Amino acid sequence: MVLPDRQAIYPGLTYVDSSSFLHRLHPLVKLVLLFSFSFTVFALSSLVGEVLLFCLLVAALPLAGLGPAFFFRKLRFILFFGFFIFLVQLLAVREGLLLWQLALGPLTLSLWSAGFLGGLAMMLRFLNIIGASFLFVATTDPNRLAYALMEAGLPYRFGFMLITALRFIPLFQLELTQVRNAQLAKGIDLEGLSPRKLLTAVKYLYLPLVISALSKVETLAISMENRAFGLYPSRTYLASQALTGREKGACLAIPLLFLLLYLALEGGSSLAGIPYL
């Protein structure tokens, strides 16, 4: 039995090799942009601000050479979960103006303005954070990011941990697929979501995978010791990832621009005096 395509179930949050504008940006500039965008998403309390940030996120997709279709196809599960958050807020919050009401026998279904606007704001906040993170992952080479962090001052031992973790993820995914196919070929039933099937999966899938992972980690540790990893306090780099003067200026300007955007949006909302505006 062949496993179904995992990309059809889970979003493919992986690096997409390209030569677009966002791909060419320095990894640290994109990291500052991601943190500034995320802090602004959490700090804003207005629906208008969340809508504006979502529009900025969608407008950045062509700069990454991805397109809205690629973005929404990869994050369809996230979009569904965001819509679920909106429905929960819409049905649970009963404040503000009554928008619509329906009597179903002893039950009464009512929709209120605070639930509608608050649900939209919460859904957009969730989509903005996940979408920006996905855009960062899709346009940033993990090796370049790790080397840039190390040249910026991160100890190279921690940078090596990051690179190793990212390289082991697809390897473990492939090994999990091989182990599951082998167990299915032996006639072991791993389908279903019952507690019994969960225990079976842990025994026949994750236990062999953990043993294999520990074996690979031990082999890697022996190899690093043989090469005297960590002997010197610093290391050299094949390709330099140092920031230029313009890139350093961008790292300082980006948080200031988002701070001005936050002050402008929050100031307009407070003057209007309307919640979730």
CA separation (Å) from 35 to 71, 138, 226?
A: 20, 16, 39
pTM reported for the whole predicted model: 0.74
pLDDT of residue 192: 64
- Torsion sign, CA atoms 44, 263, 140, 27: negative
Of 228, 227, 209, the closest CA to residue 168 belongs to 209
Report the distance separating Cα 162 and Cα 153, nearest Å.
15
The whole-chain average pLDDT of the chain stands at 80
Task: Tell me the per-residue pLDDT of 31-75, one tens digit each, with 9 for 90 and over.
Answer: 999 999 999 999 988 888 889 999 999 888 888 887 777 777 777
Backbone φ and ψ for 14, nearest 5 degrees, come out as: -135, 165
Task: Tell me the per-residue pLDDT of 184-231, one tens digit each, with 9 for 90 and over.
Answer: 787 777 676 567 767 777 777 778 888 888 888 888 888 888 888 877
Report the amino acid identity of residue 266: E
Number of Cβ atoms within 10 Å of the Cβ of 191: 10
